[in-house]
Chain A
Amino acid sequence: MAAKRTIRNKAIEEESGSSRRDFIKKSGLLTALALAPPSLVMASENKWDEKIAEYLETVPLSLEVNGVKHTLNIEPRTTLLDLLREQLLLTGTKKGCDHGQCGACTVHVNGTRILSCLSLASMQQNAQVTTIEGLSQGKKLHPMQEAFIKNDGFQCGYCTPGQIMSGIACIKEGHANSREEIREYMSGNICRCGAYHNIVDAITEVKEGGKAL
């Protein structure tokens, strides 16, 4: 994970050319250390410049994902979606459009369904996040996961984690009282394969099953 993260940071730096981090590296620490050559060698070996620059540009964040507590430092611009996928390696939550237009990134934050692509992780201090990975209990699938399999609620499966997270919330919110209502309140989840009919079947079945979700 650490290795992956450094690679990503490098990529960002390269993309933005002379980034603020570069500037800090060049102007601040290195100038100071240039006066003391032996410590410069040590500093670069220990990547202190990198660490200090990172410290200045990141914010601390504590949050709970699927019952596991995480304490991290993140860049304020990190979306909750990128945090989940790239830093916590929970890739079940999908990035479809990254602009709020498809619902593939739907997760629950403090029990409410939201779009993780439009949500800044830095604004989720102490939040409790549930993703698709947090639904099953060991090998036992969540009733909504079972229902999607039974009803063929997907084809390629890309939208499915978002559909399932949204479907559970749709029932909990009390918006699954008719096929029409389900369609309206699931409209924020687009399925390019057009599995809509079976998705509504799956949600209807879970709703009628009356199990606690």
Chain B
Amino acid sequence: MKNFQIIRALSSKSAVSSIAKENSAMFIAGGTNLVDLMKKNVVAPDKLIDINGVDLKKIEFLTGKVSIGALAKNSQVAEDKVIKEKYPLLALALAAGASQQIRHMASVGGNMLQRTRCSYFYNTDMPCNKRVPKSGCGAIGGSNRMHAIFGASDSCIAVHPSDMCIALAALEATVLVEGPKGKREIKFTDFHRLPGNTPEKDNTLLEKEIITSIEIPTNNFTKNIHYLKVRDRSSYAFALVSVAVGLDIQNNTIQDARLAMGGVAHKPWRLTEAEEFLKGKTVSEATFKKAADLAMKGARSYGDNDFKLTLGPNAITEALTIAASK
């Protein structure tokens, strides 16, 4: 790892003003992704701004929403009693990610900004448009078992690896950020982006901006919810495909539905058409299968990940069935 300087910021304002002065500085929170990438020389900042001294760790239950600080730890959120009761889908998704040691270190903001796990991205001997723009994509025509089936481009077919973000997309969270030009809010589903021909940009956060918190509106998705994660081993592995489901069922009729998928796109993949279809329907296997078929419209695979075209709808049906039976 290249050596670097490190300073500690004590407020979001000072963090932003410190980073604004530098060309090659980065924030560091838990370090579980950044230190790994620095060891592999995928990123090599001259300066790190340690933001752990900034007061952004709180989980606050306000009228109509919960606010979660960007530095709240993944385990802290996953195990918070009220989060488990009022936002159980988020707690489940967080608990399905990484390992307990990593969840103790990982922050909410860092989780959102974690980079793809595409092996070409991690290997500096290989071409990768995301790491080095215009160098080519190793995964197209290469080893692409983990890769996208939705929204990919000729430049990049990588997926966003987060579990937490899939639940946040389904729960219609908002991201609060602060930058040299002030504060702004970003709809969660607009936060991550599709690769297009600029895959080096994972999201719509501007340079020098810091994530301060996320907010999730109060909702009725407290009972019939599920986070299904399909992976190569039963724990401590990234998703091949994951599905976040929130159903609001009254008298066997689906009043409202939320569905999002992980492991299938460059961003958390919200399945709005399937959601619309589910609303007003009675709970049945046939309905769930139909919703899964609708969700898969436009899917396209790249060889090693052909199996996702079958695994995807099966996982959706299974997740809906489990959620409805709770």
Contact = CB atoms under 8 A, between A and B. Distances in A.
Given A115-B105, A188-B101, A79 B236 contact: no
B39 A119 contact: no
25 contacts: A20-B3, A76-B3, A77-B2, A77-B3, A77-B4, A98-B39, A99-B36, A100-B32, A100-B36, A103-B99, A106-B101, A115-B105, A118-B32, A118-B36, A120-B35, A123-B6, A123-B28, A123-B31, A123-B52, A166-B101, A169-B100, A184-B235, A188-B98, A188-B101, A190-B236
Given A99-B39, A114-B105, A187-B236, A120 B100 contact: no
Contacts of A122: 6, 50
Most buried by A among B1, B35, B100, B235: B100
Most buried by B among A170, A183, A185: A185
Interface string B1-36: 111111000000000000000000000101110011
Contacts of B35: 79, 118-120
The 7 closest A-B pairs by CB, nearest first: A188-B99, A187-B235, A187-B236, A76-B6, A77-B1, A188-B101, A118-B35
Contacts of A14: none
A75 interface: yes
Interface string B91-114: 000000011111011000000000
B198 to A, nearest CB: 28
A187 B50 contact: no
Interface in B77-128: 98-102, 104-105
Nearest to A175: B100
Interface of A: 16, 20, 57, 59, 75-77, 79, 98-100, 103, 106, 112-115, 118-120, 122-123, 166, 169-170, 173, 175, 183-185, 187-190
Given A99-B39, A118-B35, A118-B36, A188 B6 contact: no
Interface of B: 1-6, 28, 30-32, 35-36, 38-39, 48, 50, 52, 98-102, 104-105, 234-236
B100 A185 contact: yes
Nearest to A162: B101
Given A77-B4, A99-B36, A118-B31, A170 B48 contact: no
B105 to A, nearest CB: 5
B47 to A, nearest CB: 9
A170 B103 CA distance: 13
Given A76-B5, A188-B99, A188-B100, 13 more contacts: A77-B3, A100-B32, A106-B101, A113-B101, A118-B36, A118-B105, A120-B28, A120-B35, A122-B6, A123-B6, A123-B50, A185-B100, A187-B235
A112 B76 CA distance: 12
Nearest to A170: B100
A127 B110 CA distance: 22
A99 B41 CA distance: 13
A147 B149 CA distance: 48
A37 to B, nearest CB: 32
Contacts of A16: 2
B71 to A, nearest CB: 13
Contacts of A99: 36, 39
Contact of A112 (B31, B48, B104, B234): B104
Contact of A103 (B28, B39, B101, B234): B101
A210 to B, nearest CB: 22
B235 A183 contact: yes
Nearest to A122: B6
A101 to B, nearest CB: 8
A118 to B, nearest CB: 5
Contacts of A166: 100-101
Contacts of B98: 188
Contacts of A169: 100
Most buried by B among A59, A112, A114: A114
Contacts of A190: 236
A184 B104 CA distance: 15
Nearest to A113: B101
Nearest to B37: A99
A75 B52 contact: no
A100 B4 contact: no
Contact of B4 (A76, A173, A183, A189): A76
Given A170-B100, A184-B235, A115 B5 contact: no
Contacts of B1: 77
A123 B32 CA distance: 13
A187 B100 CA distance: 8
A120 B49 CA distance: 12
A115 B102 contact: yes
Contacts of B99: 103, 187-189
